[in-house]
Chain A
Amino acid sequence: MSVTTSQLSEVATLARLQLEAEQAEPVTNAINQILSLVDQLHALDLHAIAPMAHPRDEIQRLRADVVTETNQREPFQAVAPAAEDGLYVVPPVIE
């Protein structure tokens, strides 16, 4: 398994990572080296083994449906880059 430079740039865009032009090739090579390590796993016969959803063999605990949180808007908005009228302010997003 390997990726091309253009696949890498697509993934970088989706992940909001900025990749400079001169980084493209070295990063692609580095990732392909990691992928070749993963490729070694193909040698294992995993036929009868169900995929794991979690490394720990435990099951999810559930919590009762009770409201336990109180209004913490003030301390949260005090550390936000921008807030106004109770809203968090972000650059305009219009679909």
Chain B
Amino acid sequence: MNWEVVIGLEVHLQLATQSKIFSGSSTRFGAEPNTQASAVDLAMPGMLPVLNEQAVRYAVLFGLGIGAEIGQRSVFDRKNYFYPDLPKGYQISQFEQPIVGKGSFTVTLSDGTTKTIGITRAHLEEDAGKSLHDAIPGASGIDLNRAGTPLLEIVSEPDIRSAEEAVAYLKALHTLVTYLGISDGDMSQGSMRCDINLSLRRRGVSEFGTRTEIKNVNSFRFVERAIHSEIERQSDILEDGGVIIQETRLYDAERDETRSMRSKEVANDYRYFPDPDLLPVVLSDETIEAIRATLPELPEAKRERFKKQYGLGDYDAKALCDSQAMANYFEETANAGGDAKLAANWMLSELAAQLNAHNIDLGQAPVSAQQLGQLIIRIKDNTLSSKMAKQVFDALWQGEGEVDAIIDQRGLKQVSDSGALEGLVNEVVAANPDQVAQYQAADEGKQKKLLGFFVGQIMKASKGQANPKLVNELLNKALK
């Protein structure tokens, strides 16, 4: 392709407050329509907004998390437009003096390289209500439960050059905000929505081309697909010598294409001005430092610590730091079991497979970190072979009790007593003189294969409880 793609993203992040940004209504998701919309949210005459302290704290935490400038004096403005789900006729937002200024954010791509993406700003604003077009025939229904929900709009620089980078950025942002605890990041409930600004330019040209804005894309997969389809659309137009019209478009996932939003507005002119209902927000150095003191260990620092402290490789460290819950579970398992590598292996194979198969989160897993740690202790002290350990894990998953009780109940103890095993080995060797002769006549490669036969016989005789490592050693001796 002759074209270089230039992308900037605007992410609307729903903050995890209990109440709305300017009123004491609940922000709980899924309530009956309009049961969480107060007089302030409905824009009744005479109502005044009062700013939620937690929303401010969360915005500052985000700014500190990406090392951005914090707006020690920020101002709320009115963004004016008419739409039925916006009862005031304006959205309270921030324009010239946002709460978070310039910062940057480094993401790791699939080939292991890193890319730093500039953050232009992040500002606080209120969400609008919801318009339902199918609920009432011939009319639209308005649910204002969402009106006034606090949002942090995070605006990136046009530094992104591919769909892959866009998705990597969003995923890293998602990990960061859930670590910070400022948002549940639940995309299915609209907690993280994304507008994509996209333009193309000929390679080597420094000016940007005309961009379009794709509104409200709400999953990583759709972001990727929307970008691909918009690149194709724009490059087709440009290849044919056409021009791109600056406009707002919607991504239609069913048809996998973007289409123009037929806007009835003459032009978007939001006529921002400072909201006289709200005074400037001023944050002292002390306040900012007090918030900084509550910063948790961030994903990047945690990954590095896991590599150093637990001797993990890049892949394991990254996978285990995907969420704070995962990282905590790992540390608890590693400490309880005394083996970090085994803890990582079990989490990323057996545990991950079960979570996937049952489509549940780690928080709902029926096997606790302490239990997995105990299982690892029993693998390390040779009580369990890895095959037995899998059986115990399955039993733990089914809620059959604690590790040692399951081992007892099922009689799963691995026999590691060489005296007892020696007897078995000798019996099996004595019972199969033909195979012994074959073994002794074979070359080294073939011997290995024949050894499997003996191991199998011994495992069978021991009802699967012989320690396979010890059996191998004893057999090697006996067959010499």
Q: Give chain A's interface residues, CB within 8 Å of chain B.
A: 10, 13-14, 16, 53-56, 58-69, 71-73, 76-77, 82, 84-95
Residues of B in contact (CB 8 Å), total 56
Q: Among the listed A13, A69, A77, A82, which residue makes an inter-chain contact with B34, where contact means beta carbons less than 8 Å apart?
A: A77
Q: Among the listed B53, B143, B276, which residue makes an inter-chain contact with A62, where contact means beta carbons less than 8 Å apart?
A: B53
Residues A92 and B139 in contact, CB atoms below 8 Å apart: yes
Given the complex, which residues of B lie within 8 Å of A93, measured CB to CB? 83-84, 131, 133, 140
Q: Among the listed B54, B135, B265, which residue makes an inter-chain contact with A87, where contact means beta carbons less than 8 Å apart?
A: B135
- Docked pose: A62 CA to B54 CA in angstroms: 9
- Cβ-based interface call for B371 (8 A): no
Q: Among the listed A56, A58, A90, which residue makes an inter-chain contact with B140, where contact means beta carbons less than 8 Å apart?
A: A90
- Docked pose: A94 CA to B50 CA in angstroms: 33
Residues A76 and B34 in contact, CB atoms below 8 Å apart: yes
Q: List 20 A-B contacts (CB under 8 A).
A: A13-B266, A53-B280, A54-B276, A55-B276, A60-B281, A60-B282, A62-B56, A64-B54, A65-B55, A69-B19, A69-B36, A73-B35, A76-B37, A85-B135, A86-B32, A87-B135, A88-B142, A91-B139, A93-B83, A93-B84
- Cβ-based interface call for B39 (8 A): yes
- Docked pose: A88 CA to B136 CA in angstroms: 10
Chain A CB within 10 A, most for which of B53, B261, B262: B53
Chain A CB within 10 A, most for which of B83, B136, B250, B265: B136
Given the complex, which residues of B lie within 8 Å of A66, measured CB to CB? 18-19, 24
- Cβ-based interface call for B132 (8 A): yes
Interface class of chain B by DSSP: loop
Contact flag A65-B53 (CB < 8 Å), given A14-B271, A60-B278 = yes
Nearest A residue to B26 via CB reads A67
Residues A69 and B266 in contact, CB atoms below 8 Å apart: no
Nearest B residue to A50 via CB reads B73
Residues B280 and A92 in contact, CB atoms below 8 Å apart: no
- Docked pose: A16 CA to B90 CA in angstroms: 13
Residues B34 and A67 in contact, CB atoms below 8 Å apart: no
Residues A67 and B139 in contact, CB atoms below 8 Å apart: no
Residues A60 and B42 in contact, CB atoms below 8 Å apart: no
